[in-house]
Amino acid sequence: MARPAEVFVRPVSMTEGRRLQRIGRTAKDPVRLRRAIVVLMSAQEQSAPDIAHLLDCSPETWKASTDPDFIAKMRRVLDLYDHPPADGRVVCADEFGPLNLQPRPGRAWRPTAHPARLRATYRRTGGVRHMIAALDLPTGQMTYRIRERKRWREFLAFLKLLRSRWPAQKLYLIADNFSPHKHPKVTGWAANNNVELVFLPTYSSWLNWIEPEFTALRYFALSGTDHRTHAWQGEMVDRYMRWRNARAQPKTNFAAESGVRTWTGYQTNAA
């Protein structure tokens, strides 16, 4: 079912509008370009079906949170970001992937007049891998593991790794509503090991501070590559992570000027 035509993005400021227009004129990344166009058109109150028709995409990709406790859950997450509890540390967790072996478009350094030639994307061999990662807000550093699957077993093992890393502190772990995160074995272990699972409202992954880190990972480690083995791909991911963590800074001021911070009820006319 398409999103109702009366549902639009939140009001866009003049600064944001100018930035979106600049992206629309200069962006080399087609995904970034399309996203900027979507936001601009929605800010002009054009309906989801009209935007989908223009960009040749499905209006079903539009998601509004149906969580009746949206405001309470959002405020809980923002409060943890703004006022980290003295008795523990706040960590954001999520999965990234799938990491399959395929040529990925993107820019890279090449000798003049010698562009990289990518093979066809339809020959994808070697299966897939999945990354489970966590962003530690006090330091800004990331911990990750790459696994063949992303079941509750892998997630629980990752939680145990985080627990061993900070054994004396309570962990406030922010995660989405992916079913392995809520498996009874996971929630039971967390309750018995001083780990509080803080779940996001439905369809609100933008509240998870780790999401933009995945965007950077995709850009610096995967774009413009054609890794032929998972070991090779994993090495590139590891090199980026080591470079990133060596320069990490504590995470503060999450969406400090965002309009969502003024909401007293769920805004059905905002995204």
> What ranges do the domains of the chain cover?
14-61, 70-108+117-246
Q: Scan for tokens 């330091």, then name that residue.
A: 139
C-alpha to C-alpha distance for 175 and 91, rounded to whole angstroms: 9
pLDDT interval class at 200 (50, 70, 90):
very high
Average pLDDT on 193-222 reads: 92
| CA triple 26-30-133, angle to 5 deg | 115
Q: Candidates 3.40.50.720, 3.30.420.10, 3.30.70.360, 3.40.50.300; correct CATH number of 70-108+117-246?
A: 3.30.420.10
* 130 SS3 class: strand
Q: Scan for tokens 């980026």, then name that residue.
A: 240
Quote the pLDDT of residue 271. Answer: 38
Quote the pLDDT of residue 259. Answer: 78
C-alpha to C-alpha distance for 150 and 152, rounded to whole angstroms: 7
pLDDT beyond 90 at 269 = no
What would the pLDDT profile of 56-93 be if each residue is shown by its tens digit?
Answer: 777 675 566 788 899 999 999 999 999 999 999 999 99
Average pLDDT on 109-127 reads: 72
pLDDT beyond 70 at 154 = yes
Average pLDDT on 247-251 reads: 95
Average pLDDT on 118-133 reads: 81
Q: What value does the mean pLDDT of the chain take?
A: 86
